[in-house]
Amino acid sequence: MADPVSSISIPTATTAPWKGPVALGVAGLVVLAVCSVAMPTFLVNNLIRAFLYAAVALTVDLLWGYTGILTFGQSAFFGIGAYAAGLIFTHLGFSWGYAALALVAGIGVAWAVSRVVGWLAFYHGASPLYASVVTLVLPIVLVQGIYSGGEFTGSSSGLSGFDSFDIPIELWFFIAGAFLIVLAVMAWLFVSSDAGRLLVAIRENEVRCEYLGIDVSRYKARLMDTAAVIAALAGFLFACVQMVVAPEYAGFVFGTELVIWVALGGRGSLLGPIVGTMLIDVGSAYLSGDLPYIWTLLVGIAFVVVIVAMPRGLAPLIAGGVRHLVPRRRRAAAVPVAFCSAQARAQDHAHDAWPALSVHDVQKHFGSLKVLDGITFDARAGELLSLIGPNGAGKSTLMRCIADGAERSGGSVKISGTEIGTLAPYDCVALGVGRKFQTATVFESLTVGEALRIARHRVAPPSRWRREPTLALPQPALDVLRTTGLDRMSDRECRYLSHGQKQALELAMVLALEPHTVLLDEPTAGLTKQERTQIGEIFVALSSRYRMCLLLVEHDLDFVQQISSRIVVLHQGRIVMDGGVDEVVGSELVRAVYAGESHAGEPRVGELNSEGQP
Amino acid sequence: MLNLGLDVVTTAAILFIVSAGLLMIFGVMKIINFSHGAFLTLGGYSSVIVGHAGLNWWWSVPFALLTGFVLGIGVERFIVRPLYARPLDAILATWGLGIIVGQIITLVFGREVQMVVSPVDGAIAVFGGHYSVYRLILVGVAVLVALALGGLLNGTRLGLQTRAVIMNESLARALGISSARVRFMTFCTGAALASAAGALITPLSSVDPNMGVPWIVGAFMLVLVSGSSLLSLALASLVLGGAQVLVSTFVNPVLGGLTIAVLAALLLRLRPEGFARG
Amino acid sequence: MMKKFSSSRYTRSVLAAALGAYLLAASCAALAADPVKIGVPVGLSGANSVVAPSVVQAAQLAVDEINAKGGILGRQVSLEVADDGSGAAGAQKAFDSLIFDKKVNALISMETSAARNAGLPIVTRGKVPYIYTSFYEGRSCNRYMYVDAWVPDQQVAPIVDYFMKQDHAKTFFLVGSDYAFGRGMLDFTKSYIEKKGGKVVGNEYLPMDGSDWTSIISKLQGAKPDAIITSTAGGAPNVTLTKQLRAAGVTIPYGNLAVDEGTAKSMGADAAGIYISGSYVTNIDSPANHAFLAAMQKRFGSDLKTPNDLSVPEYEAIYLYKAAVEKAGSFDTAKVTPALAQVSFNGPRGDIKMDKQHHTPLTMYLGQVQTDGSVKVIQSFASVDPGAQCPGLK
């Protein structure tokens, strides 16, 4: 059945990618140790604070710069960690035992609060604006809670005068700095790993990720949980070294300052926010005495200018400087990937008796407007079913109803015998449905290889700290890549692909999910004649050779006639005809339905039937 | 009991007046104007200027409308328009603008609390109790604002175009409506309204560079649950504003201050359309 | 043989001697000219920024006067002002900068409680004497810190006693901002009222940045008290509460524990009738106050910010520091700190001596705001004791 295994080997030159960052990190630690004793006390004190703020800014960068979640709430988690220490040390006293208790309490509460925020903000269909609003409300609520805590929480004056670890300030400098360096190295490894690419994919095209089987909401929530714990840890350290906690460290002004520092430093660059935070924070310590109002005004102006005109912040400048100092190394993004054939997964034959797709009395209405009514049909493995009908007939809506359980208003949809109920797209993917969108939606900033690896996420979770040189794909996907030549372009960014290549890539991504049923929404739109032929052959191969069930929405009736095994005609939300190709193409009804239709460049019904009536 | 009812109605009216401008901008442009607080403050200081010029306080409302509109022109052109495609960035940029305006006002006027003489003072006897005259007047003002906006949206050509853009911008543009012009006019009108609201609340609050900040979160939570409908906003103001009054009175004013934000967040989670028709 | 007189050698030796003398003199002068630095971390931005300029002016006048009379122990005094942002984060930077970077000899300033609390660990680590010149909620204790301003135990009694005696008030309604100072003041007020046989029929708080007093005012009107006492955060909450009270037609006796003369004056007609209590009003009729006011007017002219209950303690504190250093005979913290409890200074507020557990007995004045905005002194109470603020410090 399957073609012989073919793998294209590309000379890979990836050295262990973790060596670079770790080496830099160790060098940083050494510099830190030297500075702790060499620098003047005032600067040391300031830098301790700046290191911890930079650590929190790093979490904001991971959430916002990389994943696109604009969060004002990291300050709240920082405050939780700090207040855990402050409250326990004030009311219970200080000892190593209490310190451990405070640490656990701080991290635990931060994690729990993050779960609540995650439930509120990240769910299928949530708007990013709403998520940001929730993260804005969080610190406000927390601070009001602190204010109303009276003597227990210290209210607006905060808590101070509690004991803490009796270690010299130089050692604290080293601890805070080491915390930042370790965090930065780990973050660097993560974002340059294969798993880190998923952050960018989510930021760019969340919907596509969902249709690739990735539970985006859960991923974001877990990311926020991790960020919350890190911020709480930074807060705990802060309280221990400063021996004072105040509501402003948990408030939304601090939360927005973090966003400002990340924006100015350069979002999505890790190093930018760190440098930006430290420069602004230490700078303000020196300058704010001289120009208290002007300083805030200047920062505000710089912020607006950066957001409007230079979204990448100062990072490009820093990066340019760094590149002059550090010897040039190949950028991680340019690593080419070799594709090879994936091991065929154990076929689950329990569902073979069922039709691949079973749609029964599906309805969809918007208010009083009925878009779909009484749609019922079955499709079996190996069928290539084309869905045709004039514009507005409801074809794309039907596709959505099959791939997303929450979409339809009534009726049932079964994939291989399993009812999809109200399952979200990523769960429908798990049942074996893949959907290719009408407009080719891929991930502009990622390479072909990275995009395909994301598509394999559900089956083969990517590594969290390195980049694999090979990617195993199922044979159908490999066929598509080989036919269109994409297999040699694994390191080209998707934004540089032609329209036809993007369509092919998206198809390959969908096939990488190993679906039984593939939904294709106008796959030939915008393709050249040659590309159309190519893709037609691929479709036929998918249904005949690989026994997939293909459901195609198409306007190109020529194409439909050539490749389909069965045609369903939709008109005004109802199925008006369902039968073999010749039966449908020659029918009076279809011609009547299409009467008056004219698609520029598309063959009209009248032209199809060369010996038929006009 | 009567006082409580009047508290609810007048609080709802004040919330409506403050949020109406934000609603217009959100409905058409789908962005949250985080500089809303700065425009409120601008309106408050317009009152101060009118007071220093020796004119009757009621002149501050048209003057505030004017200053808000003029500032809105600059903001739309230089900050909002380049960020049409990046709504989250638009939030940040308008927030930064709020900071800038606040600092400039501080530099020009100083940080002290400014005094504005109230146009009407004291309470009147109402059904056996006493109630603040000005708060009752604001109920009337809220109705006026609603009628005026409703009239603009439903009775003028620009209003019709605005409603088209709200419903389906690409279709509206395909039909020849200049959505850029609609956005521009909407932003300036919303900004002017925010400024006027700032002037209208000065008899009940102080005028200082940060006076707008406490209103921002409440106003935009109300706008989020209202979608793009004035009627929904009125309903939301009544329900959430009423909840705020009830919690403040019977439980705790600290929790009362949080009521609108928390309830709105929960409501949106359970019903993303909020008060708007589904 | 007679040595030939070499004029060049003579010139060279004279020059050498002159140079040597000059260097010696210069180094002596340099040693002598090393100024005493007094650090003033104050809220140039943030909530205290309205009152900070007056505090800095008071400090400047004190330093100028002291320098004109020869400085402290022969050394000139210089001021180092830093912005503490009226909050914890800014205070840490400011205190750090003053103690470790500018290396001041003493810190003398007013702060918000959050800023003060944030700065104290740094003061302890840096071992610098710190005179806190702001009234506050009390009970903040640190080996190096002295307070020359009032605490609730001193401020509340005049108003409550007056209402009870003059207006026969029996029931009180308390309103405040929900923060340490507001709660501290009103808690003390409540226990004082109850100790004197009165009854508190309502005790309501709004968050510090709250501006909508509607429900509280409605409750107030429902409770029908004889008098109202408030302790809100400074600035906006004072104004919003007063305006809304007057808009609702509340005219019962109103004692405001947290408003100063300047804000009251700017509130115009709405503030008329409000009772305030403090350790300083500009109308104090004493030679020291008259001299002080004249000197301020002369020094700052039209830029003068009206002296008030937050800036005058600053002026007096600098003189107290001078006295302590002179008594100790050195600038060494270990010697100056105990001396601060032993010296006294006669200033615009009277005789100031920080000898009650690092706090100060003060003369308190009860005043009422007039329709023209000025404050009329109704009664004064001499030497009110601050109570047991820091029993651990003695």
- The residue to which tokens 């050779």 are assigned: A545
pLDDT beyond 60 at C28: no
Q: How far apart are CA C302 and CA A195, in angstroms?
A: 66
Q: Within a domain: residue A358?
A: yes
Q: How far apart are CA A493 and CA B162, in angstroms?
A: 40
The CATH class of C153-278 is alpha beta
pLDDT beyond 50 at A457: yes
pLDDT beyond 80 at C7: no
Number of domains in chain A: 2
Q: Nearest CB to C210: which of B113, B130, B257?
A: B257
Q: Could you report the per-residue pLDDT of A118-161, keeping only the tens digit for each?
A: 998 998 778 888 899 899 999 999 998 888 787 788 877 888 87
pLDDT beyond 60 at C31: no
Q: How far apart are CA B94 and CA A277, in angstroms?
A: 21
Q: Could you report the per-residue pLDDT of B176-216, keeping only the tens digit for each?
A: 888 888 889 999 999 999 999 999 998 887 788 888 888 88
Question: Region A12-16: what's the mean pLDDT?
Answer: 46
Percent over 70 (pLDDT), chain A: 88
pLDDT band at C254 (very low <50, low <70, confident <90, very high): very high
Q: What is the pLDDT at residue C129?
A: 96
User: Which tokens is B35 given?
Assistant: 């500089």
| Separation in Å, CA C101 to CA A497, A610, C206 | 58, 94, 40
**What are the residue boundaries of the structural domains of chain C, listed by start?**
36-150+283-360, 153-278
pLDDT beyond 70 at B97: yes
Domain boundary among the residues A251, A267, A299 is at: A251
A147/C117 Cβ within 8 A: no
Close Cβ partners of C236 (under 8 Å, ≥ 6 residues apart) = B113, B205, B206, B208, B210, B211, C211
Q: Nearest CB to C243: which of B118, B214, B253?
A: B118
pLDDT beyond 50 at A46: yes
User: Which tokens is A306 given?
Assistant: 């950066």
Q: How far apart are CA A566 and CA A378, in angstroms?
A: 11
Residues of B in contact with A132 (CB under 8 A): 88, 91
Q: What is the pLDDT at residue B205?
A: 79
pLDDT band at C14 (very low <50, low <70, confident <90, very high): low
Phi-psi region of C167 (alpha: psi -120 to 50; beta: other; left: phi over 0): alpha
A130/B224 Cβ within 8 A: yes
Q: What is the pLDDT at residue A337?
A: 76
Q: Are the C-beta atoms of A89 and A162 separated by less than 8 Å?
A: yes
Q: How far apart are CA B6 and CA A611, in angstroms?
A: 81
| Separation in Å, CA C44 to CA A218, A299, C132, C296 | 46, 17, 17, 20
Q: Does B261 touch chain A (CB under 8 A)?
A: yes
pLDDT band at A17 (very low <50, low <70, confident <90, very high): low
pLDDT beyond 80 at C389: yes
pLDDT beyond 80 at A391: no
Phi first, then psi: give them for residue A345, nearest 5 degrees. Answer: -75, 150
pLDDT beyond 70 at B128: no
Residues of B in contact with A303 (CB under 8 A): 92, 96, 99
pLDDT band at B136 (very low <50, low <70, confident <90, very high): confident
pLDDT beyond 80 at A350: no
B224/A133 Cβ within 8 A: yes
pLDDT band at A220 (very low <50, low <70, confident <90, very high): very high
Q: Does B225 touch chain A (CB under 8 A)?
A: no
pLDDT beyond 50 at C140: yes
Q: Within a domain: residue A482?
A: no
Residues A392 and A247 grouped into a single domain = no
Q: How far apart are CA C362 and CA C394, in angstroms?
A: 18
Q: How far apart are CA C213 and CA A382, in angstroms?
A: 72
Percent over 90 (pLDDT), chain C: 49
Question: Region C25-42: what's the mean pLDDT?
Answer: 71
Q: Are the C-beta atoms of B14 and B244 separated by less than 8 Å?
A: no
Question: Region C81-89: what's the mean pLDDT?
Answer: 88
More reliable by pLDDT, B173 or B17: B17
Question: Region A252-268: what's the mean pLDDT?
Answer: 90
More reliable by pLDDT, B238 or B273: B238
Q: What is the pLDDT at residue A382?
A: 86
pLDDT beyond 60 at B77: yes
Q: What is the pLDDT at residue C33?
A: 61
Q: What is the pLDDT at residue C9?
A: 64
Q: What is the pLDDT at residue A259?
A: 93
Q: Nearest CB to A42: which of C87, C101, C183?
A: C101
Cα atoms in the 13 Å half-sphere on the side-chain side of A552: 30
Q: What is the pLDDT at residue A10?
A: 33
Residues of B in contact with A293 (CB under 8 A): 103, 106-107
Q: Within a domain: residue A65?
A: yes
Q: Which of B194, B196, B165, B192 is nearest to B178 (CA)?
A: B165
User: Which tokens is A588 given?
Assistant: 């009076």
Q: How far apart are CA C191 and CA C156, in angstroms?
A: 11
Q: Could you report the per-residue pLDDT of A175-185, keeping only the tens digit for each?
A: 999 999 999 99
pLDDT band at C30 (very low <50, low <70, confident <90, very high): very low
Q: Nearest CB to B99: which of A68, A137, A300?
A: A300
In chain C, which residues touch A (CB < 8 A)?
Answer: 44-45, 49, 81-83, 85, 87-90, 92-94, 96-97, 100-101, 112-114, 116-118, 120-122, 125, 137, 142, 178-181, 183, 205, 207-208
Q: C362-369 and A574-579 as β-strands: parallel, antiparallel, unpaired?
A: unpaired
Domain region containing A167: 19-251
Cα atoms in the 13 Å half-sphere on the side-chain side of A339: 28
Q: Nearest CB to C179: which of A41, A155, A244?
A: A155
| Separation in Å, CA A189 to CA A183, A330, A464 | 10, 15, 8
Q: Nearest CB to C218: which of B112, B206, B249?
A: B249
Q: Does C246 touch chain B (CB under 8 A)?
A: yes
Q: What is the pLDDT at residue B139?
A: 92
Query: Whole-angstrom distance between the N-terminal and C-terminal Cα of chain B?
Result: 35
Phi first, then psi: give them for residue A356, nearest 5 degrees. Answer: -60, -40
Instruction: Determine which helix (DSSP H) or strand (DSSP E) holds B229, and give its type and residue range.
Output: none
Q: What is the pLDDT at residue C18?
A: 59
pLDDT band at B93 (very low <50, low <70, confident <90, very high): very high
- Positive/negative CA dihedral, C167, C171, C176, C182: positive
Q: What is the CATH number of the domain that holds A390?
A: 3.40.50.300
Residues A74 and A206 grouped into a single domain = yes
Q: Could you report the per-residue pLDDT of C208-244, keeping only the tens digit for each?
A: 777 788 888 888 988 999 999 999 887 778 888 888 8
Q: How far apart are CA A332 and CA A344, in angstroms?
A: 30
Q: How far apart are CA C128 and CA A330, in angstroms?
A: 55
Q: Does B171 touch chain A (CB under 8 A)?
A: no
Q: Could you report the per-residue pLDDT of A517-556, keeping only the tens digit for each?
A: 899 988 888 788 888 888 888 888 888 888 888 998 888 8
Q: What is the pLDDT at residue A110?
A: 97
pLDDT beyond 80 at C376: yes
pLDDT band at A608 (very low <50, low <70, confident <90, very high): very low
pLDDT beyond 80 at B118: no
pLDDT beyond 70 at C144: yes
Residues A70 and A208 grouped into a single domain = yes
Phi first, then psi: give them for residue C306, nearest 5 degrees. Answer: -50, 125
pLDDT beyond 90 at A593: no
What is B196-224 written as a DSSP string?
A: HHHHHTGGGS-B-TTTTHHHHHHHHHHHH
Burial (CB < 10 A; 0-12, 13-18, 19+), residue A346, is: exposed
More reliable by pLDDT, C27 or A421: A421
- Provide the 8-state DSSP code for A447: B
Q: Within a domain: residue A391?
A: yes
Q: How far apart are CA A206 and CA A125, in angstroms?
A: 10
Cα atoms in the 13 Å half-sphere on the side-chain side of A250: 34
Residues of A in contact with B106 (CB under 8 A): 293
Q: What is the pLDDT at residue C328?
A: 93
Q: What is the pLDDT at residue A290?
A: 66
H helix intervals, B2-86: 2-29, 36-52, 60-75
Name the range with the highest mean pLDDT among A380-394, A473-487, B1-15, B65-79: B65-79
- The residue to which tokens 């990275």 are assigned: A450
Residues A363 and A220 grouped into a single domain = no
pLDDT band at A33 (very low <50, low <70, confident <90, very high): confident
B125-129, C279-283, C358-362: which has the minimum mean pLDDT?
B125-129
CATH number of C36-150+283-360: 3.40.50.2300
Q: What is the pLDDT at residue A294?
A: 79
Q: Are the C-beta atoms of A414 and A357 separated by less than 8 Å?
A: yes
Residues A247 and A358 grouped into a single domain = no
User: Which tokens is A395 given?
Assistant: 């074809």
Q: Within a domain: residue A360?
A: yes
User: Residue B207's closest chain C neighbor by CA?
Assistant: C236
